[in-house]
Structure 1
Amino acid sequence: MLAGLLLAIPVHAAQLTVDLANGSRTWDTGQLLKHPQAKDIDIPDDVSYKRAMHYRAVPAAVLLEGVSGDAHLQAVATDGFAAEMPAAPLLQTTGSQAWLAIEDPEHPWPGLGKDKPSAGPFYLVWTHPAASRISPEQWPYAVGKIRLLASVAERFPAMLPDPKLAADDSVNKGFALFQKNCFACHRLNGAGDSQLGPDLNIPHNPTEYFAADYLKLYIRNPQNLRQWPQAKMPAITPEVLSDEELGQVVSYLKHMAGRKVSQ
C-alpha cells in the first residue's frame, strides 16, 4: 500500500551530468524539457515498458557536441547499471536515432512494474532501433551520468582474450558481443563498473558449472531454467543475439575460464 502511494507521488526535478573531453556540464529537468531541440516522440515498441510510449526528448547527439564517432561512452544509471556504448550510433541523425527522454515532474511516467519506479528521470530511447541492431542494453534508464571514457579493452585488460588469437577468431567476436550485451550488468575477472550482476569468471565461470547447452538455454531465457519472481536478467532473444553470436559469447566465456586473475 505504502509503495503504491510512493509511486503515485510526482517526481522532483533531477539532474543529468555529461562529462566530455571539453568539460563537464549538468542539465536539470527543466532545462532539458525547454531545450530548443526537444520534441515529442513516439516509441512503438519500448524495450523497458514493452508497449508503445510517448516522450518529450532531446536528440542524444545534441548533448554530445564535440564527441567523435570513434569515441567510447558510458551511461551510468542510479541502480548500478553501466551501459558501454560506441559514440557513433548515438551521433546518428538518420536510421536508428538515440534520444534522451526526460520525465516531467508534473506528468511522471508509469512504474516499470508493480511496486517499481519509472524509467526516469532520464531514459535513453531509440527510434528505428532495428536499422542499427540496437540491443536492449543500449536503452539504459534511470540515467544520471553520461561520460566519455577509454575503451573497455584499455580500461580493463583483465578481460582481454589471449593476444595470440586472430582478430576474427570466435573468441574475439564473442568478446565484442559480451561488451555490447552483457557488460552493462556483469563484471569479469573483477573488471567492470556495473554493480548489478555477478562476476562471470571468479570464483567460477558459468561454462564450468552449466552442463551441455544449459548455459545457452539460460541466456536465451533465464526463467526457462530457474523461475524466480525477483530475477532481473532479461531474455536474450535471437533478434538480439543470433545462435551463431550466442555461440561466440559462450566461446569467449569458456576461453576466459582459463585466464582467471588471482583472487
Structure 2
Amino acid sequence: MRQCLAALALSLSLPLSAAQLHLEWGDHSVQWSSEQLLQHPQARDIDIDQDVAYKHPMRYRAIPVASLLQGVKPEDHLQAVALDGFAAEMPAGPLLQKGPAQAWLAVQDPAKPWPPLGKGKPSAGPFYLVWTNPQASGIRPEQWPFQIATIRSLAPVEQRFPALLPDPRLPANDPVRQGFALFQQNCLACHRLNGAGDAQFGPDLNLPHNPTEYFQPQYLRMYIRDPQRLRQWPQARMPGFAENVLNEQELDAVLAYLAHMAERKKH
C-alpha cells in the first residue's frame, strides 16, 4: 500500500508529457510537439483580456497562427479538431491576418499546465486558438477552439455536406440562407444535421427530430441564450449565446434555418 501511494505521489509530481499538434493541407503534413512550439522563434508571451474559455484574463506562451500555416491561402477552408470531437470550421483568411484581430496558438507548457476549465474538467490545453483584439474583426466564440489536436484543410462545408443545404430555390436574401451561414459559424462545431458534419460533440439537430419540433418557440430561444436557465445540469456542455454573440435578428435567422430543415430530413 505504501509503495502504491509513493508511486502515485511520484506520478502526480511529474510534468505532463509533451503533446503533438498535427497540421494537414494538400500534400503538407507535419507534427509539432508542445516543446518544439514553446521554443519556436516567434513564440512570445501574450495577454488575453477577455478569454472565451476561462472567462477571465489569461497570459499564454503563444505563436502567431499565420507562422504555422505556410502554404495556406486566404481562400482556403480550415478545420480545427479538438480532443473531445469539437470541430471548428474556419476560413483561413482571418487566421493569416496580422490585424486588427490576430490569431495565436497558445501552447500549454507540460511543466506548467493551465488551470482546469471547471471542477472535474481538463484545461484548455494542449493547444488553444486565441485572439488579440477580437472585437475589431467580429471574431465569434466558436473561433476560439481549445484542446486542439489537428488543424487541417478541407473543402468548404457546402461541398462536403450537401445534406445541410437549404432549398436552392430560396431567394438569395432569404433569412434561411443567412441562418445557414450562422449555423456553420455557431453550431456545426458541436452538432451534425441530417447526419452531416464532422463534429462528435453534440447531438444531431434534425434526426430523429428537430428542436423546432419539440420546443415551444419561447423556450427554444431561452435554451439557446442560456441553457442552464431552462435545464440545470452540472454536466451540460452547451454554452449560451448572448446577444453580443448572436443578436436577435441573427437568432431569428438560425431558427428559420432549423425550421426549414425540419422539412428536409434526409435519413
Bin for the TM-score computed over the shorter chain:
over 0.9
CA distance in 2, matches of 1:160, 1:86: 18
**Aligned-pair distance for 1:213?**
2.0
* Structure 1 residue 7 displacement after superposition: 7.9
CA distance in 2, matches of 1:138, 1:220: 18
Q: 1:161 to 1:167 in 2, by over 3 A?
A: same
Runs of 4+ in 1 over 2 A off after TM superposition: 5-10
Deviation per residue, 1:145-187 (Å, 9 max, x gap): 0000000110000000000112221001000000000000000
**Distance (Å, rounded) in 2 between the aligned partners of 1:215 and 1:222:** 9
CA 1:149–1:7 in 2, change beyond 3 Å: closer, same or farther? farther
1:157 aligns with 2:162: yes
Shift of 1:22: 4.2
- Answer yes or no: is 1:59 the counterpart of 2:68: no
| Residue type at the aligned position of 1:108 | P
Gaps of 5+ in 2: none
- 206, 218, 228: which is aligned to 1:223? 228
Question: 2:264 maps to what in 1?
Answer: 259
- In structure 2, relative to structure 1, the CA distance for the partners of 1:232 and 1:31 (3 Å cut) is same
Secondary structure at the counterpart of residue 217 of structure 2 = coil
Tell me the amino acid that sits aligned with residue 97 of structure 1: Q
CA contact (8 A) 1:13 1:30 kept: yes
Match of 1:212 among 208, 214, 217: 217
> Which amino acid in structure 2 is aligned with residue 70 of structure 1?
E
Q: 2:239 aligns with which of 231, 234, 237?
A: 234
**How many Å separate the matches in 1 of 2:134 and 2:217?**
33
- Would you say the 8 A contact 1:97–1:126 is kept in 2? yes
CA distance in 2, matches of 1:69, 1:171: 26
Once residues 82 and 9 of structure 1 are traced to their aligned partners in structure 2, the CA distance between those partners, rounded to angstroms, is 31
CA apart distance, 1:8: 7.3
Q: Quick check: 1:145 aligned with 2:150?
A: yes
- What RMSD over aligned residues (CA atoms) do the two structures have, in Å? 1.5
Match for residue 68 of structure 1 among 73, 88, 92:
73
Q: Which has the larger radius of gyration?
A: 2
What's the counterpart of residue 121 of structure 1? 126
SS in 1 for 2:36: helix
**Uncovered stretches (5+) of structure 1, i.e. residues with no partner:** none
Residue 16 of structure 2 corresponds to 11
Contact 1:58 1:99 in 2 (8 A): yes
